[in-house]
Amino acid sequence: MKIVILDGYALNPGDLSYDCLKAFGELTVYERTDSEGQAIARIGDAEIVLINKVPVTESLLAACPNIRLICVQATGYNVVDCEACKKRGILVTNVPSYGTAAVAQFTMALLLELCHQIGLHNRDVHAGGWEKANCFCYWLTPQMELAGKTMGIIGFGKIGMAVGKLAKAFGMEVLAYNRSQCEEGKQIGTYADLDTLLAKSDVVSLHCPLFPQTRGIINESSIAKMKDGAMLINTARGPLVEETALAAALNSGKLRGAALDVVSQEPINADSPLLTCKNCVLTPHIAWAPIESRQRLLDTVVENIRAYLAGKPQNVVNP
């Protein structure tokens, strides 16, 4: 059996090992695959294909008829045409929950950065600002406590609930908007409709998947419903946010700040309005990336392949 990894760098930049996959067959690892033609040539007659962000289209599937299993080395699988795979009898698996702790932790790190502008103050101290201030303390931006504030979480699955628990530990009230409700969620926060959440939240944090109905969920209209001076965090998917509308809200002062680990085009374009607008913290899609979470991801990919070969597939997203 032949196994091909098309963009191995994302999961394993060199600090993990793909050797665990060799037990299943002949393994070929490509660090990056930049075009569909290149992907087709590299897949060849392979039966199992592992991808992270390489698109899997109907035309690619038609050119690679031996594919039986596509393992997405991530939770989101919108890069794969799952219906086309289903029609061809190809299973698609993903890896849920591997990064829950990492993403929740990073979400709070972004929020604390917005509250305290730690990076800005660190750079200013190194540049001599504290020495020149001739005072035991000084601050360049207003500081903000989280206790007593309201965190509105859009998408209250495992990551959203983990963020809710951390927010509560900081003394925040938690509102949640989700397609369904569960008892665990009710113990963490209060479910609300989207308009209520937007109107009452001091911080809105996005943790929902990217579907047609969630694309652009943060737009000019929804921002207008938010509190003046509220903050936005996105560690989910870039296209959940209409970036021109967000930049306008930051520049006008409607929103106090935003912190985004994901953007609509990755890597970010040089002409993105987010690069020049006020009070916008940007990080390069790293919330998921601690070595512990990436090892869990790889372990689950191995288990997905093992389960498939045993005739008991797991984590299938196109049943």
Q: Are 27 and 20 in contact (CB under 8 A)?
A: no
Domains of the chain plus CATH, in order, are 2-98+291-309 (3.40.50.720), 100-282 (3.40.50.720)
| pLDDT tens for each residue of 161-182 | 999 999 999 999 999 999 999 9
pLDDT category at 130 given cuts 50, 70, 90 is: very high
Amino acid 190: pLDDT = 99
Residue range 238-264: mean pLDDT, rounded: 99
pLDDT of 182-237, one tens digit each?
999 999 999 999 999 999 999 999 999 999 999 999 999 999 999 999 999 999 99
Q: What is d(CA 216, CA 318) in angstroms, rounded to the nearest whole number? A: 25
CA–CA separation, 157 vs 97, rounded Å? Answer: 10
Q: Could you give the residue numbers annotated as active site? A: 237, 266, 285
For residues 236-253, average pLDDT: 98
Going by pLDDT thresholds of 50, 70 and 90, the confidence category of residue 107 is very high
Count of other CB atoms within 10 angstroms of residue 278: 14
What are 1-60's pLDDT values in tens digits? 999 999 999 999 999 999 999 999 999 999 999 999 999 999 999 999 999 999 999 999
pLDDT of residue 52: 97
